[in-house]
Amino acid sequence: MLNRYARAFFSRLFTPLAAALLKRGISPDAVTVFGTLGVVIGGVVFYPLGELWWGSVFITAFIFTDLLDGNMARQSGRSSPWGAFLDSSMDRIGDAAIFGGLTLYFAGRGDSLSNAYLALLCLVLGFVTSYVKAKAESLSLRCEGGIAERADRLTVILVATGFVGLFLPMWVLTVVLVLLALASAFTVAQRVAMVHAQTKGAA
């Protein structure tokens, strides 16, 4: 849902910054990799140390490069299959760092094996959600949407994790992880159903 309603707004917001970076000779690919490195540091360094608030703030600052690099590519006319491939690959690394970092936190300082399993489940289901779409599109089939797209998943987990690190009780994050896992599973089912509807006549 956030993909539809927020991406256009933030794309316009970042247009001046994207133009300024291009004037300085910075490439969209460099921004993509730089942003991913920031997300990875936030996820695998801050979270396992129990710095849930600052980790979420740090990650959020770098997450927006995912919109910035696309804006730069469009302005410079450099949109290409390579750029799309790199961006998608870096997204998977960032997602792994966020949920992997939470898994490490709960398996260590967070002292909650059940939450560690939930964070790991969210990571796996998020990857399956993305894989289903990528595989369908490689077969020239339409596969998009769902109640928990990547932007939705990241917004929910970063907000919940950040405020639990600030003042909310831990059970709030437990509930969010359960709901996020359920929503991700439902999104996979939605996309599978969409692909099946397009292919059942071909058989």
**CA nearest to 50, candidates 96, 97, 104:** 104
Alpha carbon distance 64, 34 (integer Å): 11
Question: Among 28-32, 54-58, 118-122, where is mean pLDDT lowest?
Answer: 28-32
Predicted local distance difference test score (pLDDT) of residue 119 = 97
pLDDT band at 17 (very low <50, low <70, confident <90, very high): confident
pLDDT at res. 66: 83
Q: Is 91 a catalytic residue?
A: yes
Using pLDDT thresholds of 50, 70 and 90, give the confidence band for residue 71.
Answer: confident
Segment 158-186 shows an average pLDDT of: 97
Question: Which of these, 180, 144, 191, 176, lies nearest to 4 by C-alpha position?
Answer: 144
Which positions ≥6 away from 133 have C-beta within 8 Å? 143, 144, 191
Decide if pLDDT at 172 tops 80. yes
Residue 2 predicted with pLDDT over 70: no
Residues 152, 1 contacting (CB under 8 angstroms): yes
pLDDT in tens, 37-57: 999 999 999 999 999 999 999
Asked if pLDDT for residue 6 goes beyond 70, the answer is: no
pLDDT, position 83:
87
Residue tagged active-site, from 29, 91, 95, 152: 91
Does 36 or 11 have the greater pLDDT score? 36
Confidence band of 201 (pLDDT split at 50, 70, 90): low
159/137 Cα distance (integer angstroms)? 31
- pTM comes to 0.91
What's the confidence (pLDDT) of residue 178? 98
What's the chain's average pLDDT? 91
